[in-house]
Structure 1
Amino acid sequence: MARLSLVAAGLLAALPLTACLSPARDFHGYIADEVQPIDIKPGDDTRSTVLAQLGSPSTEGLFDTNIWFYYSDIQERFAFYRPKVVERSIIAISFSEDDAVDEVVKYSVTDGQIVSYASRETPTRGRELGFWEQIFGTVGAVRLPNTDETTPGNPTGRR
């Protein structure tokens, strides 16, 4: 009987750990209702029909507002690890000058590239202080008393 209760207690204690075994899925971006962005046909659709079928784009082109982007991705996260992008879909719809759909291009997670970001530190010239120099660098430094601006010759500021 005691052995059975130990096994039951062990299984009960291990039950919360099973939540770490299944990934948590997060959905970000555009979620299509009825019409998929890839179903838009160049030459047949216009800017207004795309807006009516898909809604507002996730973003527009920065320098060319004739390109609309519909972005969505799915991320999985195991326990406390960083999320990993499992699926990514970016649909770029470009319009001609007469607002007709010119081209529809689909990009996936494999079309991305790793971008090497610059560090957020600006290198400066000069002498860098070491650890001990930073700690004991002000020992023995003489601090001058504050002077009153109205009486420059009087360091105490009293009249």
Structure 2
Amino acid sequence: MTDIRNTSSRAPALRGASTRWGRIRATAAIALVCAVLGACTGEQFQKGYILPAGALEQIPIGASQDQVLIVMGTPSTVATLDGEVFYYISQRASRPVAFMNDRVVDQRVIAIYFDKNRQVRRLANYGLKDGKIFDFVSRTTTTSGQELSYLTPLFKLLSFN
């Protein structure tokens, strides 16, 4: 006697189960990739003073130092040279991916200069383009002059003879 089993009825069920598990795995993989990429998205950082909207318009030339303190708040730092200067310093940086270094996007220094009578003499709004790169470790500033090498004096000596 031969055993005839109906395998055709079980085959679609097995194929359907493997297709279902394949879809679940694909969906889980896509969700995992989205979660990993979502964790790596860029970030924005605001450091320092946040300038209130319309604050500088409320400080006319000749305003008192007390009026500046009321409108702007406590300065980031104060200098006392030829009168007094209030500095409000802020910086915005961004990082395109979570593990990368920050890159400065905008930098602001608002300087309010006072005369001897503590009245506003001048307002200045310095940006990123106004700054100079300074290496605090070596304490040197790049110059716009000609860069000299060790061989330059030798070539100059030879050219005069």
- Check whether the contact 1:28–1:74 (CA below 8 A) recurs between aligned residues: yes
2:71 alignment partner in structure 1: 53
Q: CA RMSD in A?
A: 2.2
More deviation, 3-12/14-23: 14-23
Match status 1:26 vs 2:49:
no
- Gapped runs of 5+ residues in structure 2? 1-19, 140-161
More divergent stretch after superposition (75-84 vs 15-24): 15-24
Counting only pairs closer than 5 Å after superposition, residues 116-131 of structure 1 correspond to structure 2 as 116-119=135-138
Amino acid at match of 1:51: L
TM-score, normalising length: structure 2 = 0.64
Name the counterpart of 2:36.
17
**Quick one: distance in 2 between partners of 1:75 and 1:36?**
23
User: Hey, what's the Cα distance between the residues in 1 that align with 2:101 and 2:34?
Assistant: 23
Q: TM-score, normalised by structure 1?
A: 0.65
Structure number, greater radius of gyration: 2
Residue 102 of structure 1 deviates from its aligned partner by 0.3
Change over 3 Å in CA distance of 1:61–1:98 after alignment to 2: same
Shift in CA distance, 49/62, structure 1 to aligned 2, threshold 3 Å = closer
Summarize the alignment of residues 18-97 of structure 1 with structure 2, pairs less than 5 Å apart: 18-33=37-52, 35-37=54-56, 39-43=58-62, 45-61=63-79, 63=81, 66-77=84-95, 78-97=97-116
Separation in 1 of the partners of 2:39 and 2:61? 46
Cα distance in 2 between the residues matched to 1:29 and 1:38: 21
Shift, 1:58, TM fit: 0.7
Query: Which structure's residues are more often helix, by fraction?
Result: 2
% identity of equivalent residues: 26
CA distance in 2 between partners of 1:16 and 1:93 (Å): 47
Aligned to 1:4: 23
The whole-number CA distance in structure 1 between the counterparts of 2:104 and 2:43 is: 12
Residues 30 and 65 of structure 1: is their aligned pair in 2 closer, same or farther, counting only changes over 3 Å? farther
State how many pairs are aligned: 119
CA deviation profile, 1:35-67 (whole Å, cap 9, x unmatched)? 424652212x11010011111101011656601
